[in-house]
Every structure is written in structure tokens, then in C-alpha cells.
Structure 1
Amino acid sequence: MSKPLPKPSPTSLDVAARAGVSQSAVSRAFTPGASVSKATRAKVMAAAEELGYRPNVLARTLITGRSRIVALVVAYLDNQFYPVALEKFSKAFQALGYHVLVFMASNADEDVAHVLDGLLDYQVDGVIMASVSISNRLAARCETAGVPVVLFNRRQDDERLSAITSDNVAGGAKAADHLVSLGRRRIAHVTGWSGSSTGRDRREGFLARLDAHGVAPVAVVDGMYDREVAQQLTRALCAGPERPDALFVGSDHMAFAVMDTLRFELGLRVPDDVAVVGYDDVPMAGWPAYDLTTVRQSADAMVAATVETLMARIDDPSMAPRHLRIDAPLVVRGSTVKRETTR
């Protein structure tokens, strides 16, 4: 006994006939941002649901030349700033009718090259590199393939690459001003990874402003944006002959490790013995357990600017690259200024 032939899938023509509209109206109804009235869209969606119709995304890609997929390449998710940013990216692109593919990559050139091979196979419309460096050679590959790249929370000297960061130099300077204003003079800096623009820029702004105040840092050490490294460095700094009375830490992720080590391992009081300033202002920074003074990276503003920049480059590949530095205010909390307790 032969098997019955499968029922043919409904087409856009079937939907158009059921809704009493043209086939082009059906296409516009399923195209984000296309011009179609609310009434027409409602009729099309109702007819599509009744028939079990879904548009063929692959076919549309062949017709339009766009996959409506954006690749987001991330170096690590340990830092609490990146899961927050990832959620915001996903929501922003969904609202524009795009899907986000997330790729993990280290900053090693061969690792980034391998990831780029994979994402270019998906014919993505654009790439966001979140705290991942990309060589000039790989940038040229993307440019040749017609795929725009925007750097998020990282910048490079390659002028072809748009880059969206916080104003890291100014943020570091604000941390220095704050600690000096509190009378702290034995100040150390646990930097972000020295191989990253963010780590270098925050260090540059911090040290230049300390110098302007006539204060020399007791130590400047590379925390590598790593929690365990930050803990080891805190132990070493506090075991030395001149224990710091203040620490500027290059990210909140490391600052939490620094505070835990100071309080629970070394028995020091924050901020009485050691004041701590972080960078990012992730949600945990406001938790009572940390109450961390920190320089705020506005994830909302940075993500919005990155999405806007990438979409503009997708629509107009000839558009000049953008290099934006978004203001980073200092948020003062209890890790530097002791709060009054009330009963």
C-alpha cells in the first residue's frame, strides 16, 4: 500500500486568496518596516494562521540578498556587562526583524579567523565584535565580502572599522579625581587587560589625572579582566610594605573579586581601610553586598549606537565609519564613601 502524498505547504498566493489581498500585500505584511496598513496586516496574519503558513526565509534571502541575520562575536561572558549587553542587542535586533547569531572567540588572530569563516558561511548582513580585536587582514576580508563590522566596547587604529565605546580615558580620570578628593594617596590600579584598548585607555586617563594631582601610584598591575588574577594581585599588593588605601579596578567583575579578598580573606574594611572603584556599573554593583562605586558604561546608549551604526552601514556600505565615545559618569556608592547607618 503506497503512502499518501504529503499535503502541499500553503503558499503566499493561498494566504492572499484567503485574506482577499494581493500577493505583494502578503509579502509586505511579513516584512518588518514595510508599508502596509494595520487592517491589511491583521487580515494577512489571520489568514496565515488559519492556513499554517510561514514565509520561506531562505527563499527571501535569495531574492533580497539579505539574510536578516547579524553575528555577534564575544570574547567572554564572565564579565557581567556582556550578558546584559547581549540581551539588549537581541531585543533591539528582534524589533528590527533581525536574528542574532552569537559566536565565541578569543582575541587570537587564528581563532577570530576561524569564527569569521563560520559566520560568513551564514551570509550574515553584519558583524558586531564585542571586546574582540580583528586584524587589518580579517577586516579586509569582511569588507571584500560586503559585510560591515562594528566594534563594541573596543576600538582599533584601523579607520575602516566603526567603533562604539564609553569614554574610557575620561572615565579613568573621574576615578582618579574621586579617590584624590577623599584624601587617598596610596593608590594602586588593577588595570584591564593591557592588550585591549579599554584597559589601556582607562589606565591612561587614570594615571594622567593622578599625575595632574601630584600623586604617584603605588602600583599599576594588569588584572587581565580575570577574577582569579585580580584576587592574586590584591593579596600581593596588600602584603607589600606600602599597602594601598585605594584601588581603581578596571572592571566591576574584577572589583567584586578584589572586595571579597579584602574583606573575607585579608580582614580589611571597605572603604575604611581600602576604598575600591570599579568600571561598568553592572547590576551587581548596586547590590548591598558590594555597593560599589564605579564608572558607568551605559549599556543602553552603547547598544543603541552600535545597532544604529551597523544598520546604517548595511543600508549604505559607502557610509564613513563612526567612532563614538559615550559619556561614562561616576556613580558613588559605599565602597568609597562610608554610608550613615540608621536603626
Structure 2
Amino acid sequence: MSGRVTSAEVAARAGVSRSAVSRVFSGASASKATERKVRKAAADLGYRPNVLARSLITGRSRIIGLVVSYLDNQFYPDALERLSEALQAEGYHILVFTAPEAEEPDALVEQMLDYQVDGIIAASVTIGGDLAARCQAAGIPVVLFNRGQDASGLSQVTSANRTGGAEVARFLRAGGHGRIAQITGWLGASTGRDRAEGFRAAAGPLVAEADGMFDRDRAAELAAAMWRDARPDAIFVGNDHMAFGAIDALRSEGAAVGREVSVVGYDDVAAAAWGAYDLTTLRQPARRMAEATVETLLALVEDPDRGAARIEIEGPLVVRGSARVPEGWA
């Protein structure tokens, strides 16, 4: 058979109506017997439904756009997988655009609108106020993932960053540390600010503090300088990606990580459990954050007039060998 197979041919082969074929491939209600016949006929004929044509009829592309930067941070590839899984479970597909950290993502979001996406997830990027308003006017909901933007009126899903930072501080104080330093995440981002402020409020006076800009090399340089100049006995680093650099630098300076100086990160990416780092860290619950993001976004797709949601999800402190464990800590 040559040429594109049509739904009418599938219907004739399966002995059903064209509307039955449409119901099967749109995910609408159809009996199991009908679905089996239609899918067998489609497989025999090599039929593929025209998703673009269907979107013109339904007004839904069933595509969600995702813009993300900072993919060298191991948290984000994992988060992308979780977001994709959660969307696929709801019958949606994901269109990913990556934004260089030094550039505004607004141009990429503009491109997503051209692709007729049903919604947008912005992961660790900031959406300009004018563009946020345009998305809202166009009926395209936007949800921020792992980034807050209070003045935007956009829904956002993050970990409980202030609470997590404070938990790290309590852990270090309970371990008897008296010379505590902090390498923050980028203070221009809500995640960096909130973790730093939560930690600072619970830790008390610090012997050193600097903005690591979520950059591994910068964090390594800062950790080495802190060890030489301030001699901290503990350092909280604003994410695991930077903490790995800090540990490498401290070891290069001759510091015994876990004995002379405790290092605690934030995220609990897979590499945190590797023997080379054995990193104590505050876990970001990526799966729960992804599920909450997708649930929030799809609710807005169905009801654009819903108010913006602000969701914070707490994660546990995962204790490993990079930090002194307080007596009786559970």
C-alpha cells in the first residue's frame, strides 16, 4: 500500500466507524474490544494519527513547553525526566528549550507560543512581567519550577528552601560546630536567597559567606580561600553541584572533609551518594515537585481563571560522611 493511510481505511479494516477510530486515538471513551480491533488494524496498515490535524480540531496540542537553564547541575536532568514522566502519564508531550544562564529566556518562551503549546513550565529561569501577562492573555498558563517570582502572579513549585536551610544550620550547630561558613547559591534567584536566609537565621554569626553563583568552579575557589583565611569547621554550600567543587578544593588544600571540616549540600543528586563525595545534603524531592508542577499546570489548562498557586515541598536531610553527625541525631 502506498501513500498515507487514512482513518477511514483503519475503520473499514476494523469494522468500526471513523468516530470510533478517533475516540481510540484521542484517548476518549471506547470499549476494550473496539480499542483492540482499531489498534490491530492500525498496526497492520501502518497507520499513524495526525496529531497536528487533531490539534486544529480540538484546540489542544497536548504539548507542554519547558524552558530550562543550568543543565550542568545534576538535579535538572533528573527533574526533566520526572516532569516528562508525569506529563506522559496525563497524555502530554514535552518540548524542551534550553536557555543559556546569561540570557533572558523570554525569546524562547515566545518561540514556544508559536508552537501552540498548551502550557509552559519554566525551570530555574525568570519570566519577564510583560511576557507573563501576554501568556496569561493568550490563555497559556505558566508554572515556575524550582524558582519563585512573587511579583509575577505566576504559579510556582519549589522545595521548602528556607526550612531546608534552617534544618542544615540546626544540624551543624547540634554537631558542635562553632566556625560556620556559607557558600550561597546565586542570590539573584529566589532559591539561592531563601536557602541562604533560612540557614543564616538559624546558624547565627558566620565566619565567612560568599555568593557561589551556582557555579562549581567559583564554589571551589571560595572554599579554598575560606579554608586558608577563616578556617571554618563547617561549610553549607547552596547546592550539591557547588558542594562537589568545594570538597575537591578543600581536599586539595589538605583539609580532611568530614573530620576537620564538615560540608553540607542541597539537592541530594545521585552523585551525592558516591563514595568519592559521600555528601550530607538536604534532599529536594524531585518527583513530588514534578508531580505537583504538572498537576498545577494541567489544572490551569482546564481552568485558566484559577488563581496562582504557591507550593513548597519539604525534603529530609540525608546524613552521610561529609559532615560530623551530632550525638543522638536521627
TM-score tier by shorter-chain length is over 0.9
What secondary structure, in the 3-state scheme, does the structure 2 residue paired with 1:231 have? helix
The corresponding residue for 1:3 is none
- 1:313 pairs with 2:300: yes
Q: Distance in 2 between matches of 1:335 and 1:187?
A: 15
Contact 1:191–1:203 (Cα < 8 Å) also in 2: yes
What secondary structure, in the 3-state scheme, does the structure 2 residue paired with 1:163 have? strand
The corresponding residue for 1:222 is 211
Length-normalised TM-score, structure 1: 0.92
The structure 2 residue matched to 1:46, chosen from 40, 47, 59, is 40
The structure 2 residue matched to 1:87, chosen from 73, 81, 84, is 81
5 Å-filtered alignment, 1:123-202, equals: 123-158=116-151, 160-202=153-195
- 1:11 pairs with 2:6: yes
The corresponding residue for 1:61 is 55
1:60-107, CA deviations, whole angstroms, 9 ceiling, x for partnerless residues? 111011111111100110110000011111222222222211111246
| 1:338 shift after superposition | 6.7
- 1:78 pairs with 2:66: no
The corresponding residue for 1:262 is 250
The structure 2 residue matched to 1:325, chosen from 306, 312, 317, is 312
Contact 2:121–2:144 (Cα < 8 Å) also in 1: yes
1:277-312, CA deviations, whole angstroms, 9 ceiling, x for partnerless residues? 000001111112111110010001000000111111
What secondary structure, in the 3-state scheme, does the structure 2 residue paired with 1:129 have? strand
Once superposed, what is the RMSD of the aligned Cα atoms? 1.5
The corresponding residue for 1:24 is 19
The structure 2 residue matched to 1:238, chosen from 227, 231, 237, is 227
Contact 1:278–1:293 (Cα < 8 Å) also in 2: yes
Length-normalised TM-score, structure 2: 0.95
Q: Distance in 1 between matches of 2:26 and 2:54?
A: 10
Contact 1:106–1:132 (Cα < 8 Å) also in 2: no
Contact 1:127–1:148 (Cα < 8 Å) also in 2: yes
The residue type paired with residue 248 of structure 1 is F
| 1:227 shift after superposition | 0.6
Q: Distance in 2 between matches of 1:322 and 1:106?
A: 27
The corresponding residue for 1:275 is 262
1:226-251, CA deviations, whole angstroms, 9 ceiling, x for partnerless residues? 011001101211121x3110000000
Q: Distance in 2 between matches of 1:183 and 1:294?
A: 18
Q: Distance in 2 between matches of 1:15 and 1:95?
A: 26
The corresponding residue for 1:334 is 321
| 1:200 shift after superposition | 0.3
| 1:195 shift after superposition | 0.3
- 1:118 pairs with 2:111: yes
The residue type paired with residue 262 of structure 1 is L
| 1:332 shift after superposition | 0.9
The structure 2 residue matched to 1:37, chosen from 24, 31, 34, is 31
The residue type paired with residue 207 of structure 2 is V
* Identity among equivalent pairs (%): 59
* Structure 1: segments with no counterpart, 5+ residues: 1-5
* Structure 2: segments with no counterpart, 5+ residues: none
What secondary structure, in the 3-state scheme, does the structure 2 residue paired with 1:21 have? coil
| 1:169 shift after superposition | 0.3
What secondary structure, in the 3-state scheme, does the structure 1 residue paired with 2:151 have? coil
Q: Tell me the matched-pair count.
A: 326
